[in-house]
Amino acid sequence: LQKLLILLQVTASVAVGKTLLILFPNAMKRYILKQGEKSRMNQNPKFSYENWGPTFFSFKYLLFVLKVKWKRLEDDAYEGNPAPNTPVVTLNGEVCQLLDFMQDNRPLILNFGSCT
């Protein structure tokens, strides 16, 4: 149900954004540039608006936003609920899922630290 609601929300916002982009291209360009300032996308002089601006409200944009939002649904951990199965990277660079390390009924213990 949550994924369906996210799909409807993102699809509606992309449809509205695409429509506004067609009807008011200059105003939408200013809006997109302002969004670029927030994410620091436009601080690189070799990466101009023409490189990334037109991708806003495209089909690829829709798919990317859906993927990110759906993935974030799995990020929340609540006491008494199953652990989120987030992607992790092993020491030798292999990408796998956290729960791949579960063995039988043994608890999975995560130890966070850093080395410098």
52-100 pLDDT, tens digit each = 778 888 999 999 999 888 888 766 777 888 777 888 888 888 989 888 8
Residue 44 falls inside a structural domain: yes
* Residue 81 placed within a domain: no
Q: What is the pTM of this model?
A: 0.56
Specify if 100 maps to a domain: no
Quick: pLDDT tens for 18-46: 999 899 999 988 888 887 777 777 677 77
Q: Is residue 63 part of a domain?
A: yes
**Residue 25, CA distances (Å) to 37, 87, 112, 115 in order:** 18, 39, 48, 49
| pLDDT of the residue at 87 | 81
Is 8 inside a domain boundary? yes
Does residue 8 have a pLDDT over 90? Answer: yes
Our count of domains for the chain comes to 1
Rounded to whole angstroms, how far apart are CA atoms 17 and 84?
Answer: 32
114: in domain: no
